[in-house]
Amino acid sequence: MELKFKVSARIARPVQDVFEAVADPASLSAYFTTGGAKGRLKTGTTVTWDFADFPGAFPVEVVQVEDNRKIVLRWDANDSGGGAGYKTVVTMTFEPLEAERTLVTISEEGWRETPEGLKGSYDNCGGWMQMLCAMKAWIEHGINLREGMFK
């Protein structure tokens, strides 16, 4: 069985605003990367994301950026199974909807088909859904759902 998932949410803001909430490190740091994000998401760069619940900055390779449409990232697999490390691929798409709303879809794939890979995929699926909920609360209402959650 191939280990992959897809989560989505509708955000009541124009696609440009929602895309910037992910691409801009200051915006991403305001609601998601509790330890901060460094570097704008641009094709061919490597940025860092830091989380209070997983201390230590994670390098995130930016594979592709299509403004207001798509972001493709690679980062180390969340897999504690040992052996040689490997990366998973995260794809975010931004689809404009009626009434200046945006459908954000995040998929991730590439885990090894092991018990550890399965656990890592489940953990990340929950993390990305939490990111979408936090982004919605932040962009629509100015509420940071993750503030103080992990400290």
Lowest mean pLDDT among 49-53, 88-92, 123-127: 49-53
The mean pLDDT of 54-77, rounded to a whole number, is 93
> What's the domain count of the chain?
1
Confirm whether 148 is domain-assigned: no
Residue 78 near residue 128 (C-beta atoms within 8 A):
no
149 in a domain, yes or no?
A: no
CATH number of domain containing 53: 3.30.530.20
Residue 69 lies in a domain: yes
Burial class (CB in 10 A: 0-12, 13-18, 19+), 83: exposed
Answer whether residue 62 is part of any domain.
yes
Q: Which domain holds residue 132?
A: 4-141
Euclidean distance between CA atoms 99 and 10, whole angstroms: 12
Q: CA angle 109-137-147, nearest 5°?
A: 85
Q: Please choose, from the candidates 21, 8, 19, 32, the residue with its C-alpha nearest in 3D space to the C-alpha of residue 103.
A: 8
Q: Is residue 20 part of a domain?
A: yes
Give 56's pLDDT tier (boundaries 50, 70, 90): confident
37: left (phi over 0), alpha (psi -120 to 50) or beta: beta
Residue 151 lies in a domain: no
The total of other beta-carbon atoms located within 10 Å of residue 44's CB is 9
DSSP state of 146: T
Residue pLDDT, tens place only, 126-144: 999 999 999 999 999 999 9
Within a domain: residue 30?
Answer: yes
Q: Is the pLDDT of residue 57 over 90?
A: no
Q: How many CB atoms lie within 10 A of CB 148?
A: 9
Q: What is the 3-state secondary structure (H, E, C) of 32-91?
A: CCCCEEECCCCCCCEEEEEECCEEEEEEEEEEEEECCCEEEEEEECCCCCCCCCCEEEEE
